[in-house]
Amino acid sequence: MIKYLGIYSVITIGFIFLSCSNSTKSNSTQIESGMQKEFDISVGVALYSFNRFAFPEALEKSKQSGSSIVEGFFFHRLGGEFGDKRIPDLTEPEILELKKKVQDAGMEMKSMYAGGETLEDWEQQFKKGQQLGLHFLVGEPRPELWDGIDELAGQYGMKLAIHEHARGKSIFWHPDSVLAAIDGHPNFGACGDLGHWVRSGLDLVHCLNKLEGYLISIHAKDLDEFGNIDANDVKLSTGVIDYEAVMEELHRQGFSGPIYIECEHDWENNLEDVKYAVDYIRRRIKER
Contacts of 226 (CB under 8 A, 6+ apart): 198, 201, 240
> Is 6 within a domain?
no
pTM: 0.88
Predicted local confidence at residue 288, as pLDDT? 79
Q: How many Å apart are CA 189 and CA 182, to the nearest integer?
A: 6
> Is 244 within a domain?
yes
Predicted local confidence at residue 45, as pLDDT? 98
The distance from CA 69 to its chain's CA centroid, rounded to whole angstroms, is: 13
Burial of 21 (0-12, 13-18, 19+ CB in 10 A): exposed
Question: Contact at 8 Å (CB) between 187 and 154?
Answer: yes
Q: How many Å apart are CA 141 and CA 223, to the nearest integer?
A: 26
288 residues of the chain, pLDDT tens digit each:
533 343 333 333 334 343 333 323 333 334 443 333 445 689 999 999 999 999 999 999 999 999 999 999 999 999 999 999 999 999 999 999 999 999 999 999 999 999 999 999 999 999 999 999 999 999 999 999 999 999 999 999 999 999 999 999 999 999 999 999 999 999 999 999 999 999 999 999 999 999 999 999 999 999 999 999 999 999 999 999 999 999 999 999 999 989 999 999 999 999 999 999 999 999 999 987
Residue from 121, 158, 166 nearest 137 by CA: 158
> Is 268 within a domain?
yes
142 sits in the region (left: phi over 0; alpha: psi -120 to 50; else beta) called: beta
Cα separation values, 31 from 41, 81, 158, Å = 15, 38, 12
> Is 12 within a domain?
no
Q: Which amino acid is at 265?
A: H
CA count, 13 A, side-chain hemisphere, 220: 32
> Is 280 within a domain?
yes
Question: Contact at 8 Å (CB) between 146 and 181?
Answer: yes
Q: How many Å apart are CA 195 and CA 231, to the nearest integer?
A: 9
Supply the CATH number for residue 143's domain: 3.20.20.150
Q: How many Å apart are CA 47 and CA 42, to the nearest integer?
A: 16
> Is 259 within a domain?
yes
Q: Whole domain around residue 143: which residue ranges?
A: 32-287
Structural domain count, the chain: 1
Q: How many Å apart are CA 216 and CA 13, to the nearest integer?
A: 26
> Is 21 within a domain?
no
Q: Alpha helix locations (H) across the chain?
A: 22-25, 32-35, 55-64, 92-104, 119-132, 146-156, 175-182, 194-199, 204-210, 243-253, 271-287
> Is 22 within a domain?
no
Predicted local confidence at residue 36, as pLDDT? 38
Q: Which three-class secondary structure state does DSSP give residue 196?
A: helix
Predicted local confidence at residue 257, as pLDDT? 86
Predicted local confidence at residue 40, as pLDDT? 66
